Amino acid sequence: MIKKPKNARERIILALDVDNLHEAKELVKELKDYVGYFKIGLPLIVNYGFESFRLLEELGAKCYYDCKFHDIPNTVQKACISLVKNNINFFNVHIQGGSKMVSSVVKASRAAAKSMGAENPTILGVTLLSSFGQRTLTTELCVEKNIEDYVLQLANVARDNGLDGVVASAEEAKKIRECFGKEKDAQDFIILCPATRPTWASVNDQVRVDTPRDAVLAGADFMVIGRPVTNAHDRIEAVELIIDEIESAENCASV
């Protein structure tokens, strides 16, 4: 199981949304001592498959696989078993796949880990993509609930069916923390903010965007940051600015 972060650096998941392994390798070598995890998603997987994960292993870096699986239960179950067998222990699925899909994934993944003598994987549930706003939710998906209530409903599905946490914005994270209360299992529940932009960065194609400060004060554990770092002239300086912002928020939260 993935441990909750102990410091600001461990909270940061850097998105490796690049087109080739050479770029990915350079980013990992430069920044592995400044961030907690590297996110591997569709661009690298489509081009290189499990070679992307092997690269992180070789460089001594930790991986968060942003797969967002969403299919019939049997198909997603088999895909997640394959991840576990390839030593990928931090990944996600779409909660919108339904409780049957989610529960079967959790059960099958844990069984696969047990058969290997490995720790249980940490599986998060994607609530609503950060590129979605209220208009898209209502007019295209025909969901009448406001976004926060809809995400909270999905978070309950995730928790009730054994997922270890969810992917949600800071505003939604705050509501989830408030509604779940302070019981031990609620405190262990992981929340990851997917579209985090420091105050000095542009939002690009995201709609529901948070700053690192927003994420920390809302009770989020991890945050995914990509272009503000990877496109920076001085990437280490960019990460250090983000770490400073996180630490400042942590100090405020502890007062």
- Residues with a catalytic annotation lie at 68
Residue with tokens 């590297």: 38
CB atoms within 10 A of CB 198: 18
Burial of residue 178 (number of CB atoms within 10 Å: 0-12, 13-18, 19+): exposed
Give residue 13's identity as a one-letter amino acid code.
I
Beta strands in 102-249 (DSSP E): 122-126, 165-167, 190-193, 222-225
* Cβ neighbours for 70, distance < 8 A, ≥ 6 positions apart: 76, 93, 94, 96, 97, 101
